[in-house]
């Protein structure tokens, strides 16, 4: 394995229903709670929300890297992400993701190609590839 560029560290107690998490640098501290849809009070965040924010932020970074390689001006990128929790066979759970990428400065096939290439580069995409369904759109068009 190659040398790590960066390692994030976090500490969590209490799990997703009544938990608390914080990063070692103190920059992120969250109360973890079940969402209302799962019978909780919803007065905190949950792993799916954290994953949705992390994946979208990482994907935006991948778009920036790919656009620089392609010498393409991506402009003000916005990403709406949805992470869904599903029940699986034998009392298991799994996730699915939808990333809706808006690229106001890039149109048509160029936008779709930029999103496709970013999906090859993004660490979240590489970590989940083949394990979960990821649906991508670029400016409202399926990729």
Give the other-Cβ count within 10 Å of 115's Cβ.
26
Q: How many domains in the chain?
A: 2
Residues 63-116: tens digit of each pLDDT: 999 999 999 999 999 999 999 999 999 999 999 999 999 999 999 999 999 999
Residue 44's pLDDT is what? 96
Residue 48's pLDDT is what? 97
Both 51 and 83 in one domain: the answer is yes
- Provide the CB-side half-sphere exposure for 27 (13 A, CA): 3
Residue 14, domain extent: 1-45
**Residue from 120, 110, 112, 108 nearest 136 by CA:** 112
Rg from Cα positions in the chain = 17
Residue 69's pLDDT is what? 95
Q: In what order do the strands lie in the sheet with 29-33?
A: 10-13, 19-23, 29-33
Residue 138's pLDDT is what? 98
For residue 104, what is the domain's CATH number? 3.30.300.20
Task: Specify the pTM.
Answer: 0.95
Both 10 and 73 in one domain: the answer is no
Residue 108's pLDDT is what? 93
For residue 39, what is the domain's CATH number? 2.20.25.10
Residues 8-57: tens digit of each pLDDT: 999 999 999 999 999 999 999 999 999 999 999 999 999 999 999 999 99
Both 62 and 21 in one domain: the answer is no
Both 122 and 70 in one domain: the answer is yes
Residue 93's pLDDT is what? 96
**Residue from 116, 14, 15 nearest 62 by CA:** 116
């Amino acid at each position: 394995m190659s040398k790590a560029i960066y390692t994030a560290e976090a500490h969590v107690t209490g799990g997703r229903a009544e938990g608390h998490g914080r990063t070692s640098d103190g920059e992120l501290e969250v109360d973890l709670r079940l969402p209302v849809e799962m019978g909780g009070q919803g007065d905190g965040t949950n792993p799916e929300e954290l994953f949705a924010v992390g994946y979208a932020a990482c994907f935006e970074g991948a778009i920036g890297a790919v656009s620089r390689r392609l010498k393409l001006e991506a402009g003000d990128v916005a990403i709406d992400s949805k992470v869904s929790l599903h029940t699986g066979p034998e009392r298991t759970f799994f996730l699915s993701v939808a990333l809706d990428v808006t690229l106001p400065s890039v149109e048509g096939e160029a936008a779709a190609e930029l999103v496709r290439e970013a999906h090859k580069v993004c660490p979240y995409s590489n970590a989940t590839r083949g394990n979960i369904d990821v649906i991508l759109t670029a400016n409202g068009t399926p990729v």
